[in-house]
Structure 1
């Protein structure tokens, strides 16, 4: 089994757990505060990890060209916007449906990757992604059926926008990691993660201090719950960045749809939300697409 596969599955699990923890944070924090928890509390951990690699293993910090900083900034801003939209979506739909709406990300990631980085996409890989996307569409349908799920619906548009921004951030992070001139997979991923999370944390804190200082204090006061969001988010991001270094962002994000399976499980176990038969069938299609991608698409 290629290394990027287990790394991606682990990253998807962490991402789903982080989203569940962020949904719980909405009980005490605003959308902006819950969004910021991911970045503010992840940044010190990411810097500590990079320091441990440099001093513990004796690694040198990779030489970072200008495009590394540009890709990191684009990815960081896109991820903040995508996360804000996702958490806002939680207040409009149940956990499983809200996250499922963002999963058009896989197709958008493939297109962005081809345009920005020239990443290849085989016919089998594209077919596997589309099978998974059909599954995601089934999961995302509201109880009223197709007629109620028109793309003009506000929640659908927010989900698609969030997925697009997540896709842009994935491609940008791959571009950043590949632009580094030295270092193994873990060091490149940790270097990218440290720069991105520090950039994001500074932006979030500055925004909260400017617009809502009470929420900034609330975020600081919720450090116990937020620290878990930061830790899980940091581990998930490290996994994504490492996988992006090894494989195209489209393939990584497509395999990452295994998160949908974790997502439905979290919806049932943590939030007592009952999936419909259509959603269960959608999960099966997602799983089928993932298997196809791993066997024939990469």
Structure 2
């Protein structure tokens, strides 16, 4: 099995754990923004501390980072923040497994974003698989409490947040790959570390300033919840290292396609930990998205 595939499996495992912890924080102690900020507060310093050590062990100097690198990094960091906030808001209106599946529209949108931004396209059969996945998204948008035809409910809060998070995650993933491609080094892990350090620091500073101005009380709550928030940071660090390294090795569309295995983990978490149950329509939607992902893996 190729290295980028193993890294992606590792990334979704860390990410599922992080979302579980963030769900607990956002529904009990923190706002959605506060739970998002926790990952940066407790992971960015670790990356900054580790980068000099990695450079020393590899006997390498800090590689040049051109202006295009910073544009990709900043756009990717900003859209990742928005995407994460959207996902945490989904958790308040839908159950855990459906929330993660709606967020997974990223894999259906990354192909388009990647083609536009980086010129990395997909085949016609892959586009067909994407249509199947979008059908699953429409089924998931058919909220149980709603009335009327499904196409009249596509403006529901859960649907907007889910598809919005997918768009933002697609943009962030493609931009992160674009940033790593701007670093002149043959070492994939080093490129991932440098990109992660730049992005994480920018996110910590940017969101920290936003929180201080708009939700000042949340900063103190994030620090007070250091036991759980610290675990969020550690899970975020592990997941980000895996994601970023995978992005240096492979097209973001392919990486996100394999990342759809997170749906299975989220289902297990939903049933075993949160004791939540899915309606048959939600099950059908998740199944269609999963079929789409498996088809993409085989076709591209």
Task: Select the residue among 254, 262, 266 that pairs with 2:265.
Answer: 262
Q: Distance in 2 between matches of 1:244 and 1:7?
A: 10
1:235-286 per-residue CA deviation (whole Å, 9 max, x = no partner) reads 1111111111111111211221111111111111121101234444444444
Q: Indicate the SS of the match to 1:42.
A: helix
Instruction: Indicate the larger mover: 6-15 or 162-171.
Output: 6-15
Which residue of structure 2 lines up, in the alignment, with residue 244 of structure 1?
A: 247
Please tell me whether the aligned partners of residues 72 and 176 of structure 1 are also in contact (alpha carbons under 8 angstroms): yes
Question: What SS does the aligned partner of 1:41 have?
Answer: helix
In the alignment, the residues of structure 1 paired with residue 268 and residue 227 of structure 2 have an alpha-carbon distance, to the nearest angstrom, of: 24
Q: What SS does structure 1 have at the residue aligned with 2:122?
A: coil
> 8 Å contact 2:103–2:165 — kept in the other structure?
yes
Whether contact under 8 Å (1:40, 1:200) holds in the other structure is no
Q: Give TM-score, length-normalised by structure 1.
A: 0.92
- Mapped to 2, the partners of 1:208 and 1:283 lie a distance apart of 34
**Residue by residue, what CA displacement relative to the aligned partner does 1:6-34 show, whole Å, maximum 9, x if unpaired?**
21121112112111110001211112211
Question: TM-score, with normalisation over the residues of structure 2?
Answer: 0.91
Match of 2:81 in 1: 80
Does the 8 Å CA contact 1:135/1:282 hold for their aligned counterparts? yes
Q: Distance in 1 between matches of 2:166 and 2:293?
A: 18
Alignment partner, residue 19 of structure 2? 19
CA–CA separation in structure 1 for the residues paired with 2:138 and 2:2: 29
Q: 1:187 and 1:140, CA in 2 relative to 1: closer, same or farther beyond 3 A?
A: farther
Kindly indicate whether the alpha-carbon contact (under 8 Å) linking 1:264 and 1:275 is maintained by their aligned counterparts in 2: no
Alpha-carbon distance between aligned partners in 2 of 1:267 and 1:39, rounded to the nearest angstrom: 25
Aligned length: 297
Question: 1:152 Cα shift?
Answer: 1.5
Match of 1:229 in 2: 232
Q: CA deviation at 1:92?
A: 1.5
Shift of 1:210: 1.7
Give the drift of 1:82.
Answer: 1.0
277-286 or 233-242, larger mean C-alpha shift:
277-286
Asked if 1 retains the 8 angstrom alpha-carbon contact of 2:38 and 2:232, the reply is yes
- Partner of 1:52: helix, strand, or coil? helix
Deviation of 1:119 (Å): 0.6
Q: CA deviation at 1:133?
A: 4.0
The CA deviation at 1:141 is: 4.0
Backbone CA RMSD of aligned residues:
2.0
Alignment of 1:88-107 (within 5 A): 88-107=89-108
- Confirm whether residue 201 of structure 1 aligns to residue 204 of structure 2: yes
Task: Map 1:43-192 onto structure 2 (within 5 A).
Answer: 43-139=44-140, 141-143=142-144, 147=149, 150-192=153-195
